[in-house]
Chains A and B, each alone.
Chain A
Amino acid sequence: DTAVSQTPKYLVTQMGNDKSIKCEQNLGHDTMYWYKQDSKKFLKIMFSYNNKELIINETVPNRFSPKSPDKAHLNLHINSLELGDSAVYFCASSPLGAYGYTFGSGTRLTVV
């Protein structure tokens, strides 16, 4: 079983659309994250979330919103997609207070 799974793996959509990327972890971890990797391969954290708090990177536009229906899921919703949102988005999880971060395999979003 994949520890952190993301769907879809590829997503091509038009500007202005609203889309979601799903993430599920079966590791029992307390905290989940979303990272964005741009075309230059630079990785930046977007959000971290556990059942107590959401921490948002202040550079993330408010068109992006994480939604967690339960501890094992953290989905990423993006409204009014723009060309600059094209990137690979990685979900990750970790046990709170411990060292291990496990990453999903990424979702390549292309906005046309």
Chain B
Amino acid sequence: GEDVEQSLFLSVREGDSSVINCTYTDSSSTYLYWYKQEPGAGLQLLTYIFSNMDMKQDQRLTVLLNKKDKHLSLRIADTQTGDSAIYFCAERGSGGGADGLTFGKGTHLIIQP
């Protein structure tokens, strides 16, 4: 079955870069996503990458995809206190979306002053 793995916690200093890693098992994944959840809030789509891409950049966010190793990462440059949240990696299989997203357990990003 599908499985998505992430580390549960990451602690970085304010101003440094944060790199959140994710591995997945479904080789038929078509899209891979990063969602952000702030305390008490819903899920905010940060970015996504199509499986035939290996990098995507959007302002402070850089997504790297290594399809051979089934490894996805999210880099946040110049991490700020407002970036403190849980970051979920998610993948969508090749079923056309009818079976939804499979999420990792989320990485809690902790910002140290």
Q: Which of A44, A92, A99 is packed against the most chain B CB atoms within 10 Å?
A: A99
Say if the beta carbon of A75 comes within 8 Å of chain B.
Answer: no
Of A50, A98, A103, which one neighbours B42 at CB under 8 angstroms? A103
Q: Which of A43, A90, A94, A95 is packed against the most chain B CB atoms within 10 Å?
A: A43
Q: Which of B35, B50, B97 is packed against the most chain A CB atoms within 10 Å?
A: B97
Of B41, B42, B98, B103, which one neighbours A31 at CB under 8 angstroms? B98
B97 touches A97 (CB 8 A): yes
Residue of A nearest to B49 (CB): A99
Say if the beta carbon of B10 comes within 8 Å of chain A.
Answer: no
Say if the beta carbon of B62 comes within 8 Å of chain A.
Answer: no
In the complex, per-residue mask of A21-51: 1 if CB is within 8 Å of any chain B CB, else 0: 0000000000101010000111111001010
| C-alpha spacing A95/B31, complex, angstroms | 14
Using known A-B contacts A31-B97, A97-B96, determine if residue A43 contacts B103 with beta carbons closer than 8 Å.
Answer: yes
Say if the beta carbon of A53 comes within 8 Å of chain B.
Answer: yes
Using known A-B contacts A96-B98, A104-B42, determine if residue A42 contacts B92 with beta carbons closer than 8 Å.
Answer: no
Say if the beta carbon of B15 comes within 8 Å of chain A.
Answer: no
